[in-house]
């Protein structure tokens, strides 16, 4: 009798396995277990339970090898290690240090000038690295002691640095935008096929980059506006630096002109080539990685002539720029039946230019090796890339088991049951993602939560680009929301003892409010996200 009652209880739990699966995953992650293994372990455990209760078909796990192969062979996701490499090279080459120093000298004589310079450097680094940890740590080490020494309020200084570091998540190129682009593209095609559209439209990472550009610039403007208001109405929290301590105006501009051109050219080359349709994000990521390597080489290599030292590096950089220009105007595809004389000449010039780039990259690599920076660059790039792809594989297994347990249908029913139709469903999803951001990293939310809710929202008629940008801005807050905001942890690790953890949390709150305000603006004016992709690609 007792065994029968026990079996009845277990059978009664079977329909709730999908909910229990989500709760178990959250408990394991909060307990500190590695995310990738928590995802895969939870999936295997609940697959076994589902088989035991007779509510799971083992056939759902058969696509897993193809999913893994597809993840590591995905042309879009190949951009991730390239962008990571680009950011790590710029970090190790001390580009951020030069930018911070020159911007601080340029704006330091204004009240709140150091805070403004931190935000502008954060935006520049976001557009050239996209790595939050590196940006926050670098600015925390270099700017926070200076701001405190100059009398800045610790909370205001810490909040400015942490918030500026998170801009790398919304300003392209960004790892979160690449992951979101891949996930939403798959969800959009699935939603169209389920709706009976057998020639589905595709959404690319380039569409999402274009969609996120204006909201990213808007967010930078909101940050700068808040800091300017603090400096204007509460100047004691953000005092000015005496102009005499910053050097002459000529020296200040000379330092700025020395530090700014290289990162700006890199940003233009990477983002410009994507937005202009000259290169895919993956190709642009490769250009960015090589460009960052050449910037580092130009910084360290001695001037030794045209094809040696700094001359070889500069020749390679000019070759990349020339190739991008030629590609925009000349069809360089080989193997065609007919090519004009101009196209053949363009191909020959492109081949000659391509010969210069490996030599310049080799010279740059040799200079980094002399300074013992090449191995740390490779090590950090491999670590970050391995983390992302291991989580991606764990998430693939988790999503297959969750779908096999009926989780997809449960999510659809839950969203349909929310009052307000599409608006209510969007508000519910945004609220859930915001709350999860208090405890989970953006990668877990992107790879686990977004695939569950995106198909249902897209079937309701939500614009995929607008949805992706809304999610990206929402995910950005996960770096600032206590208690587990990663930007706050990074800053706590490098902040002086005089800065309390409570100061860091207190300083982040106004910027969280700004991000939520930006989310409301995006919801009210979707054209902020959809206008530029339409103007460029439609």
Q: Is 133 helix (H, G, I), strand (E, B) or coil?
A: helix
Question: Is residue 22 included in any domain, yes or no?
Answer: no
Per-residue pLDDT of the chain (538 residues; tens, 9 = 90+): 443 444 444 455 556 777 788 788 878 877 777 777 888 888 888 888 888 877 777 877 777 787 778 777 777 778 888 888 887 887 777 777 777 777 777 777 788 888 888 888 888 877 776 666 667 777 787 788 888 888 888 889 888 888 888 888 888 877 888 888 888 888 888 777 777 766 667 778 888 888 999 999 999 999 999 999 988 888 788 888 776 666 667 777 777 777 778 888 888 888 888 887 777 888 888 888 888 888 888 887 777 656 667 778 888 888 888 887 887 787 777 767 777 878 788 888 888 888 888 888 888 888 888 888 888 888 888 888 888 788 878 888 887 888 778 776 777 677 777 777 788 888 888 888 888 777 677 777 887 788 888 888 888 888 889 999 999 998 888 778 876 677 887 787 778 888 888 888 888 899 999 999 999 999 999 999 999 888 887 6
- In this prediction the pTM is 0.81
Asked if the structure places residue 360 within a domain, the reply is no
Look at residues 5, 15, 9 and name the one whose alpha carbon lies nearest to residue 413. 15
The verdict on residue 368 lying in a domain is no
Residue 33 resides in a domain: no
Distances (CA, A) of 475 to 53, 76, 402, 417, 458: 36, 20, 22, 24, 19
Give me the number of domains the chain comprises: 1
514 within domain boundaries: yes
Helix (H, G, I), strand (E, B) or coil at 309: strand
Taking the alpha carbons at both ends of the chain, their separation in whole angstroms is 68
Q: Is 106 exposed, middle or buried (0-12, 13-18, 19+ CB in 10 A)?
A: buried
Distance in angstroms (rounded) separating the CA atoms of residues 60 and 391: 19
Nearest to 521 by CA among 481, 477, 473, 479: 473
Q: Does residue 190 form part of some domain?
A: yes
Q: Is the peptide bond before 483 cis (omega within 30 degrees of 0)?
A: yes
Helical axes 175-194 vs 205-233, angle rounded to 10°: 130
Rounded to the nearest 10 degrees, the angle between the axes of helix 281-300 and helix 310-329 is 160
> By residue range, what is the domain housing residue 503?
74-259+405-538
Q: What is the pLDDT of residue 4?
A: 44
Spatial distance between the Cα atoms of 180 and 451, rounded to a whole number of angstroms: 9
Q: Is residue 468 part of a domain?
A: yes
Cα 532 to its chain centre, rounded Å, is 19
Contacts of 375 (CB under 8 A, 6+ apart): 369
Residue of 255, 228, 209 whose CA lies nearest to 115 = 228
Say if CB 424 and CB 43 are below 8 A apart.
no
Give whole-number Cα distances, 533 to 183, 205, 213, 465, in Å.
Answer: 18, 11, 10, 8
Residue 19 covered by a domain = no
d(CA 234, CA 242): 18
Q: Are 507 and 157 in contact (CB under 8 A)?
A: yes
CA distance 415 to 88: 40
């Amino acid at each position: 009798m007792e065994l029968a009652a026990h079996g009845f209880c277990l059978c009664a739990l079977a329909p709730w396995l999908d909910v229990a699966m989500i709760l178990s995953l959250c408990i394991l992650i909060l307990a500190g277990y590695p995310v990738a293994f928590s995802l895969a372990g939870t999936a295997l455990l609940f697959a076994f339970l589902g088989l035991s209760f007779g509510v799971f078909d083992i056939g759902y796990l058969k696509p897993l090898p193809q999913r893994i192969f597809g993840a590591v062979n995905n042309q879009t996701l190949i951009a991730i290690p390239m962008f990571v490499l680009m950011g790590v090279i710029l970090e190790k080459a001390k580009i951020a240090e030069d930018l911070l120093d020159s911007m601080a000298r340029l704006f330091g004589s204004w009240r709140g000038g150091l805070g403004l310079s931190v935000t502008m450097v954060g935006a520049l680094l976001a557009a050239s690295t996209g790595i939050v940890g590196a940006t926050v740590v670098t600015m925390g080490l270099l700017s926070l002691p200076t701001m405190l020494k100059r009398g800045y309020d610790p909370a205001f200084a810490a909040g400015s640095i942490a918030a500026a570091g998170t801009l790398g998540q919304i300003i392209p190129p960004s790892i979160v935008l690449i992951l979101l682009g891949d996930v939403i593209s798959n969800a959009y095609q699935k939603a169209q096929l389920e709706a009976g559209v057998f020639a589905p439209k595709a959404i690319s990472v380039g569409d999402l980059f274009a969609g996120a550009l204006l909201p990213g610039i808007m967010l930078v403007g909101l940050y700068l506006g808040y800091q300017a208001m603090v400096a204007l109405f509460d100047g004691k929290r953000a005092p000015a630096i005496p102009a005499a301590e910053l050097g002459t105006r000529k020296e200040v501009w000379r330092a700025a002109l020395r530090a700014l051109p290289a990162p700006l050219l890199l940003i233009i080359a990477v983002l410009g080539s994507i937005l202009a349709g000259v290169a895919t994000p993956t190709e642009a990521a490769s250009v960015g990685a090589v460009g960052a390597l050449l910037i580092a080489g130009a910084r360290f290599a001695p001037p030794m002539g045209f094809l040696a030292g700094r001359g070889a590096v500069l020749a390679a950089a000019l070759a990349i720029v020339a190739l991008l220009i030629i590609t925009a105007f000349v069809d360089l595809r080989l193997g065609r039946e007919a090519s004009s004389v101009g196209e053949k000449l363009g191909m020959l010039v492109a081949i000659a230019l391509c010969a210069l780039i490996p030599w310049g990259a080799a010279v740059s690599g040799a200079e980094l090796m002399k300074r013992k920076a090449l191995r740390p660059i490779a090590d950090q790039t491999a670590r970050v890339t391995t983390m992302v792809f291991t989580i991606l594989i764990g998430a693939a297994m988790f999503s297959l088991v969750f779908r096999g347990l009926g989780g997809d249908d449960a999510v659809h029913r839950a969203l349909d049951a929310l009052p307000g139709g599409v608006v209510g469903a969007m508000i519910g999803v945004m609220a859930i993602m915001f709350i999860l951001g208090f405890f989970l990293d953006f990668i877990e939310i992107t790879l686990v939560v977004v695939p569950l809710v995106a198909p249902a929202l897209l079937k309701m008629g939500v614009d995929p680009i607008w949805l992706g940008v809304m999610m990206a801005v929402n995910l950005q807050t996960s770096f600032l929301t206590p208690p587990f905001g990663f930007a706050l942890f990074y800053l706590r690790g490098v902040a002086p003892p005089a800065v309390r953890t409570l100061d860091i949390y207190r300083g982040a709150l106004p910027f969280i409010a700004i991000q939520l305000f930006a989310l409301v603006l995006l919801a009210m004016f979707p054209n902020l996200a959809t206008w530029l992709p339409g103007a460029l690609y439609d």
